[in-house]
Amino acid sequence: MYKIGFNQGTTLENSSLIQDLEFCTKYGYDYIEIRSLDQLKEYLKENTLNDLKEYFDNHRIKPLSLNALFNINNRSDKMFEEVLAEFQEMVRYAEYLEIEYIVAVASFFDEIEAEKRLTKNEIKDSAVKTLKIFSDILKESNVKVAFEFVGDSICTVNTLGQAITIVEEVNRENIGYCIDAFHFHSMGSRLTDLDKVDMDKVYFVHIDDCEDYPIGFFKDEDRVWPGEGVIDLESFLSSLKANNFNGIFSIELFRPDYYKMDPEKVIKKAYDTTKNVLDKYFV
């Protein structure tokens, strides 16, 4: 049987960690993905990490990941030091809260200091080097890194095929994937690649759907409730199932229309539409 998580991006502009936890618990989610970059910081202004730990100790819902660490590859030495410092802070939080995964995202061309375009090999070499550094830092830890490719034409790693070459070259127990159905669709990742992935390293999947745009033109705001868009979820989910994926799905939407809704309704609808799609294709 599968498990359902909630990614806080889904209510980014209309909720808070306290509210997300309350409604996720009420509607039966197994996991929450905590946004370390903003919503956790907001929470810690009025609460402590220990408050959060106690919440998880006393409720069924558990934290799935901290997300996300961005722009991890092809950085200048100086900028990489900042990335590393942020990573180390996330590791401290993850260990304290017993969160198994930190999501790390490849660099965006417009966010890095590259003076020229980068070849796939230059990107791979740098991403592999960074992920091995993360892996070494986590050697004595239970925390793992879920590397997420982003299906955007300006992301340095934007297909599953590219992510596979990186994670396989890293070849460490604690470095795997988060595969996002939207990112898989939006740059035309191939189902043949999904069939090739080492499923023991697919730590969890971001589930979502989206409006119909040409490849390379998608934005996160185009995401819609699972089952209400054009992603071929049938093939995507059937492949995961056939390859014995562990079954952890986390819904992640960033839709401005949904930010205008009551967060409780968003959290309930996100659960219901996710369950509906998973029941159809994954059970």
**Pick 206 or 255: Cβ nearer Zn ion:** 206
> 3-class SS at 105?
strand
- Structure-block tokens of residue 99: 């969160």
**Pick 206 or 275: Cβ nearer Zn ion:** 206
What is the per-residue binding string for Zn ion in 104-143, x denoting contact by CB under 5 A? ----------------------------------------
Residue 135 · residue 170 · CB < 8 Å: yes
* Residues 6 or more apart in contact with residue 92 via CB below 8 angstroms: none
**Best CA proximity match to 8, nearest among 231, 259, 176:** 259
**Pick 17 or 179: Cβ nearer Zn ion:** 179
Q: Which of 152, 209, 252, 273 binds Zn ion (CB under 5 A)?
A: 252
Residue 206 beta carbon to Zn ion: minimum distance, rounded to whole angstroms? 4
Residues 82-101 binding Zn ion (CB under 5 A) are none
Residue 180 beta carbon to Zn ion: minimum distance, rounded to whole angstroms? 3
**Pick 124 or 223: Cβ nearer Zn ion:** 223
Residues 202-241 binding Zn ion (CB under 5 A) are 206
List the beta bridge partners of residue 176.
Answer: 146
**Best CA proximity match to 268, nearest among 9, 25, 62, 15:** 25
Give the binding range for Zn ion (CB under 5 A) out of 90-98, 169-177, 211-219, 252-260: 252-260
Residue 185 · residue 193 · CB < 8 Å: no
Residue 76 beta carbon to Zn ion: minimum distance, rounded to whole angstroms? 26
**Pick 144 or 206: Cβ nearer Zn ion:** 206
CA atoms within 13 A on the CB side of 52: 29
Residue 69 · residue 105 · CB < 8 Å: yes
- Structure-block tokens of residue 226: 């699972």
Residue 6 beta carbon to Zn ion: minimum distance, rounded to whole angstroms? 13
Residue 54 beta carbon to Zn ion: minimum distance, rounded to whole angstroms? 28
**Pick 75 or 206: Cβ nearer Zn ion:** 206
**Best CA proximity match to 205, nearest among 4, 1, 8:** 4
Residue 50 beta carbon to Zn ion: minimum distance, rounded to whole angstroms? 29
Judged by CB under 5 A, the number of residues near Zn ion is: 3
Q: What whole-number distance in Å separates Cα of residue 39 and Cα of residue 33?
A: 11
Residue 99 beta carbon to Zn ion: minimum distance, rounded to whole angstroms? 16
Q: Is 180 in the site for Zn ion (CB under 5 A)?
A: yes
- Structure-block tokens of residue 109: 């061309």
Binding site for Zn ion (CB under 5 A): 180, 206, 252
